[in-house]
Structures are given as structure tokens and as C-alpha cells.
Amino acid sequence: MESNFLTTIFLPLALFIIMMGMGLGLKFADFKRILIEPKGVILGLFAQLIILPIVGFLLASMFPLTPELAVGVIILAACPGGATSNVISYLVRGNVALSITLTAISSLITIVTIPVVINLGMQTFIGTDTALQLPILKTIIQIAVIILLPISLGMLINQSQPRLAAKLEKIVKWLSLSFLGLIIFGLLLKERANFLPFFMQVGGVTLSLNLITMFLGYTIATLAKLDEKSAKSITVEVGIQNGTLAITIATTLLNIPTMAIPAAMYSLLMFVTSAGFALLVRNRKIISVQ
């Protein structure tokens, strides 16, 4: 009963509120930012949508994971960005507008890429004859509802009532972190008997995914000679995944809670690494622009 409540009611509701909160901070002009800051947006999207899944597949293949946990890593790698990355980008004094733009555009693109990447992960780690393959069109529609509907609602509120949207956004930003904490707590409570074995299995791979992708995001920004604030945001956007969406896909769309364990573990670890990154860049520039 507790499991059904978590996966069928609380989790979709929490994700709806989180994504609506992201929409509250978006304007239609944000989607035009690719014309204003093309280098940062294009590099960020390339890292999120191409490099990130590749790193996920490599790590899932290298670590001794069960097929379900390996697919869980792929699900996580297929879900970049999210409201949490925008909050962290703000806390590290990054380019928040770029962060929001990357999250917004990647959210639209991943409606199509998520089912493709996950199916490839299932074929790779479970087998081509698995009955668990996601129907592409149906999944695209489901993810579109999960992502587009609440974001559009938030944007409409922002368009018609900008003052109300500004007030709600501040509340929802921190509320989203609380929801994520409750979701992780609920999953770990449900799997408490397996917590230590799961942590031993996926702790290393999820930490590696987090640190490697943050490093790659930083490296790409450095080589592209982006400014300090943009570099911080790309580092965060590439390194911080949408754990809530990954958990929702695993538990609600696929109905396999084990596949949500990597996302749950990752969501715990990313706050530690994000705090470390914030301390690293506080009061000093991480990139010297010539």
C-alpha cells in the first residue's frame, strides 16, 4: 500500500509540482537564448544529450551491476538537468539564465531521446527479447505529459501573473528539494533491507557518473573559453541529473523499483559533490578568460 501510494500518487504529484516550479521561472524569451548565447547552449546540450548517455553506458558496462541496476544507471544518464540543477547553479553564482535555458531545451528534446536511450539500455543489459521494452510513441506521449504539461502551466502563470509566479517560484524551488528528499527517503525505506548491498553496488558507479560528467562539463567550458559564470552553469547542468524524473520513469512507467535505486543513491551523493563544487568555486574564478 505504501509502495502504491509512493509510485502512483505522491511521486507523480511531486514531479508535477517540481516541473511546474521550473516553468514559473521560464519565459518564452528563454527559448530564444540559443540565438543570444549559441556557444554555451550548443556545447551544454551536446554534453547533456550525447556525452552523458555515452558515459552512462561505459560506466554501467565497467561496474559489476545486475541488469536492472545497469538499466537504472542508463535511465539516470538519459535524464539531464531539472529544477535542482537550476537551484545549484544559482547557489554557485553561475549563469542562471543559461542554466534555465539548457534545462528547458533539454526537457523538450529528451521527450524523444529518453525512450530511445532506455530501450537501447534494456537491449544491451537485459536482452533484445525482453518484454520490458518501452513502446516509443506511447512513452513519448507519457513523458510529454509529465514534462510539458506542468512546465507550460508554470509558464502561463508567469506570463499572466509575473508577480505571483515570482513568489511561487521561490517557494517551489525549495519545496522541490524537500520533495526529492522525501522521495529518496521513501524508496530507501522500502528497500531498507537491501540498502547496504545496493549502496555497495551502485554507490561507486553513481559517484563516478556525477564526478566524471561534472569534470567533462568543466573541461568543455574551459576549452570553449566561456566566461566564469557560464562555465559554472555548464558544469552543474552536465553533472547534475534529474533524479526525480529518473525515479518516476523507473517506478511508474516501468514499474521496476530496483531500477530507481541508482537515481536515489545519485540524488543523495550529488548534494555532497555540489557542496564541494560550491566551496571550490566560492570567491575564486575557475576559468581565466584571456
pLDDT digits (tens, 9 = 90+) for 146-202: 777 887 888 888 888 888 888 787 777 677 667 666 766 766 666 666 667 777 888
Beta bridge partners of 80: 241
DSSP collapsed to 3 states, the chain: CHHHHHHHHHHHHHHHHHHHHHHHCCCHHHHHHHHHCHHHHHHHHHHHHHHHHHHHHHHHHHCCCCHHHHHHHHHHHCCECCHHHHHHHHHCCCCHHHHHHHHHHHHHHHHHHHHHHHHHHHHHHCCCCCCCCCCHHHHHHHHHHHHHHHHHHHHHHHHHCHHHHHHHHHHHHHHHHHHHHHHHHHHHHHCHHHHHHHHHHHHHHHHHHHHHHHHHHHHHHHHCCCCHHHHHHHHHHHHCECHHHHHHHHHHHCCCHHHHHHHHHHHHHHHHHHHHHHHHHCCCCCCCCC
pLDDT at position 180 is 64
Q: How far is the C-alpha of 98 from the C-alpha of 91, rounded, in Å?
A: 14
Structure confidence by residue, pLDDT tens digits, 107-143: 788 888 888 899 899 888 887 555 455 666 666 776 7
Band of the pLDDT at 271, cuts 50, 70, 90?
Answer: confident
**Confidence (pLDDT) at 290:** 38
Is residue 287 very low, low, confident or very high in pLDDT (cuts 50, 70, 90)? Answer: very low
Query: Which overall architecture, per CATH, does domain 2-278 show?
Result: Up-down Bundle (1.20)
Q: Does residue 236 surpass a pLDDT of 70?
A: yes
pLDDT over threshold 70, residue 231: yes
Residue ranges per structural domain of the chain: 2-278
Residue range 38-81, pLDDT digits in tens: 888 889 899 999 999 999 999 999 998 889 999 999 999 998 87
Q: How far apart are CA 183 and CA 267, in angstroms?
A: 10
Q: Poorest-confidence range of 93-97, 223-227, 228-232?
A: 93-97
Answer with the residue of higher pLDDT: 230 or 55: 55
The CA-based angle 203-132-69, given to 5 degrees, is: 10
Question: What pLDDT, on the 0 to 100 scale, is given for residue 177?
Answer: 66
**CA-angle at 264, arms to 169 and 194, nearest 5°:** 150
| CA dist., res. 104 & res. 83, Å (int) | 10
Residue (of 67, 85, 61, 79) closest to 205 by Cα position = 61
Can you tell me which residue has the cell 510539458? 148
- Over residues 4-13, the mean pLDDT reads 61
Side chain identity, residue 210: N
Query: Which of 132-136, 216-220, 226-230 is most confident?
Result: 216-220
pLDDT in tens, 20-42: 777 777 777 666 666 776 888 88
pLDDT in tens, 241-265: 888 888 888 887 888 888 888 988 8
* pLDDT at residue number 19: 73
Q: What is the pLDDT of residue 1?
A: 39
Q: What is the pLDDT of residue 253?
A: 80
Distance CA 16, CA 246 (A): 14
Q: Which residues pair with 241 in a beta bridge?
A: 80
